[in-house]
Structure formats: structure tokens, C-alpha cells
């Protein structure tokens, strides 16, 4: 099942994609796509709905983030060996964990705002996990049961903020619009093998990232189990799991985004995002 949110910023409504690929409204069925609908039981109830009577959503409508009221937005860094190499950093022995501010979350096709004093704006296509139930000290073997589904994330990064202003990565990761997620939340039953999904990203029509989740160092179940040893995870939490090679930092010479640049990215079965970079307005 594919769930989404649509409408003007701050006024998004819930929806789903029916078996024929038609966008349908869930207004009156659920209040939102958030923690209240992410349990296995709630998702099963949505799956059983007769969608033929649900209103059709205009295909040209703005899409919001595929999940609302995200409590934690956690990221795993250097989770692809070849990306670690292009970044000039060693392969981690344990997951590198950092956070993006939840205020960075935006719709999959919303503009990316270049922050003030930014000159190294970068891109990262990533597979994101959406948590479906409370998880604390869970085993890797049972971790899949705590995953509601998956979505595409562009882990937009400002490298000078991230790498040249102290040791904490969060400063280069949490700016407004730095966390587009969606277009869909695809429930885990539709993702047969999250460790074998092709993924790509283009800037101005040129392919820079062309990889697969099969080269991840730490797999989704391990990541969920690992994080749950250090913090409890709640329904609606989002975990972005790292990026394959091809980011701007890794180009020779490095190449960074500027206003007017157009980005498109996608992951097999999870949909496509499209963004335009714009300048900060003030």
C-alpha cells in the first residue's frame, strides 16, 4: 500500500494509491498519515477499504511529506563503503548516527532553499525507514516487525556547515527544506527486499548517483535494532539510511548546487522526487 499527503503547506490531507495507480483521498477515513495509522492493525484496516468510492485526487496537486508529526529524524552516515571512500573517510565499524531537525522536513517536490552563507550545498538520495510501533531493545531478528514502511529521502547537506564548523554534522543537515520525504510511504509488505532496490539522482538531467541498497554496510533491520539500544523509537520516527557514491562532495573537483539547479531522484518501487534550488529570500 502506498500512502501520501496532499494539499497546501500546513493543510495536507491523507490519501492512498489504489490498485490501478489512482490517487484517492482518505479524508473522513483517517485524520492524517501519522503515528495513529502506522501500526500493523491500522494499516491492515486501510488495506481492506473499498477504494472505488473514495474521491479521486488531482494528479497535479502538491504533495506534502509522506508522514506528519515526525518525532525523530535520525540519519546513518557513511553507510555505503564506496561513498565513505569518496568522502575520504574510513568505513565505520558501527553506524555513524546523527539527526536532522524535524523542521527540515518538506514535501518531495518542494523547493530546496539555499541557506544564507551557504556555498557547498549537496545532495544525497537515501532509503528511509518509517517506524510503525514502539521499539526499545529489539533484536535484529524481530526488527522488521517495527517497520511500517519505506520512503525516498533527499538528505540535503551543506558541507561547509557540516564539516568546517566543528565536529557536529547536524549543523549542515538540519536547515529548512533539507529533508524532503516521499512521495509515498510504501508499507513494508510491498517492499519485498529493501536490500535490493536501485536508486538514482540527477542534477540538471545528468546522473550523479546510480546505486543500489544492496551495497549498504548496515541493513535496515540492524539499524532499527542498533538504534533501539540507545533510544526508544516511536511510530512516525524516520530513519534515513545513507547514500551511495556520487554526491557533489565526491566529484573531482567538488560540485555543489546553486539556485536554479533542478534535482530529480528516486528509488525502485518508492517513487520519484523533483526539486529546484532557490535562494534564501531574506
Q: Could you tell me the CA-to-CA distances from 245 to 5, 158, 161, 185 in Å, in that order?
A: 30, 17, 20, 24
41 lies in a domain?
no
36 lies in a domain?
no
Per DSSP, the three-state class of 201 is strand
| pLDDT attached to residue 40 | 96
| pLDDT attached to residue 78 | 86
Q: What is the CATH number of the domain that holds 140?
A: 3.90.850.10
122 lies in a domain?
yes
Question: What average pLDDT does range 114-128 have in this prediction?
Answer: 97
pLDDT digits (tens, 9 = 90+) for 93-102: 999 999 999 9
Question: What average pLDDT does range 56-64 have in this prediction?
Answer: 97
pLDDT digits (tens, 9 = 90+) for 149-176: 999 999 999 999 998 887 778 899 999 9
User: What φ, ψ does residue 103 adopt, rounded to 5°?
Assistant: -70, -10
- Please give the Cα distance from 230 to 266 (Å, whole number): 31
Mean pLDDT of the chain: 95
27 lies in a domain?
no
| pLDDT attached to residue 165 | 86
- Please give the Cα distance from 122 to 113 (Å, whole number): 12
CB burial of residue 206 (10 Å; 0-12, 13-18, 19+) = exposed
24 close to 54: Cβ distance less than 8 angstroms: yes
Checking if the pLDDT of 19 tops 80, the result is: yes
Residue ranges making up the domain that contains 179:
67-279
Closest alpha carbon to 5 in 177, 30, 20: 30
Checking if the pLDDT of 282 tops 80, the result is: no
9 lies in a domain?
no
| pLDDT attached to residue 87 | 76
pLDDT digits (tens, 9 = 90+) for 79-94: 988 777 777 878 889 9
240 close to 79: Cβ distance less than 8 angstroms: no
15 close to 24: Cβ distance less than 8 angstroms: yes
By DSSP bridging, strand 198-203 and strand 13-17 are unpaired
177 lies in a domain?
yes
14 lies in a domain?
no
What percent of the chain clears pLDDT 90, i.e. is strictly above it?
91
| pLDDT attached to residue 281 | 80
Checking if the pLDDT of 67 tops 90, the result is: yes
Query: What's this model's pTM, rounded to 2 decimal places?
Result: 0.96
pLDDT digits (tens, 9 = 90+) for 258-273: 999 999 999 999 999 9
19 lies in a domain?
no
Name the domain count of the chain.
Answer: 1
Q: What is the DSSP string of 202-215?
A: EETTEEEEEEEGGG
Confidence tier at 105 by pLDDT (50, 70, 90): very high
| pLDDT attached to residue 262 | 98
pLDDT digits (tens, 9 = 90+) for 108-118: 999 999 999 99
Amino acid at each position: 500500500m502506498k500512502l501520501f499527503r496532499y494539499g497546501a503547506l500546513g493543510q495536507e490531507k491523507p490519501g492512498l494509491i489504489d490498485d490501478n495507480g489512482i490517487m484517492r483521498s482518505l479524508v473522513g477515513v483517517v485524520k492524517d498519515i501519522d503515528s495513529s495509522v502506522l501500526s500493523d492493525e491500522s494499516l491492515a484496516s486501510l488495506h481492506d477499504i473499498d477504494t472505488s468510492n473514495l474521491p479521486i485526487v488531482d494528479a497535479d496537486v502538491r504533495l506534502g511529506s509522506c508522514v506528519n508529526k515526525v518525532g525523530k529524524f535520525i540519519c546513518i552516515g557513511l553507510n555505503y563503503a564506496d561513498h565513505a571512500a569518496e568522502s575520504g573517510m574510513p568505513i565505520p565499524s558501527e553506524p555513524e548516527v546523527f539527526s536532522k531537525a524535524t523542521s527540515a522536513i518538506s514535501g518531495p517536490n518542494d523547493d530546496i532553499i539555499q541557506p544564507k552563507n551557504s556555498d557547498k550545498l549537496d545532495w544525497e538520495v537515501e532509503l528511509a525507514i518509517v517506524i510503525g510501533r514502539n521499539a526499545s531493545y529489539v533484536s535484529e531478528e524481530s526488527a522488521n516487525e517495527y517497520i511500517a514502511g519505506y520512503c525516498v529521502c533527499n538528505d540535503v547537506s551543506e558541507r561547509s556547515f557540516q564539516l568546517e564548523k566543528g565536529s557536529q554534522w547536524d549543523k549542515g543537515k538540519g536547515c529548512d527544506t533539507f529533508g524532503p520525504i516521499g512521495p509515498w510511504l510504501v508499507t513494508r509488505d510491498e517492499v519485498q527486499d529493501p536490500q535490493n532496490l536501485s536508486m538514482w539522482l540527477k542534477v540538471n538531467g545528468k546522473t550523479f548517483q546510480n546505486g543500489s541498497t544492496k551495497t549498504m554496510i548496515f541493513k535496515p533491520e540492524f539499524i532499527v535494532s542498533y538504534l533501539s539500544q540507545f533510544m526508544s523509537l516511536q511510530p512516525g520516527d524516520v530513519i534515513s539510511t545513507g547514500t551511495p557514491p556520487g554526491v557533489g562532495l565526491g566529484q573531482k573537483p567538488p560540485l555543489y548546487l546553486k539556485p536554479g539547479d533542478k534535482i530529480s531522484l528516486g528509488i525502485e518501487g518508492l517513487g520519484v522526487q523533483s526539486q529546484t534550488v532557490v535562494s534564501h529570500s531574506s
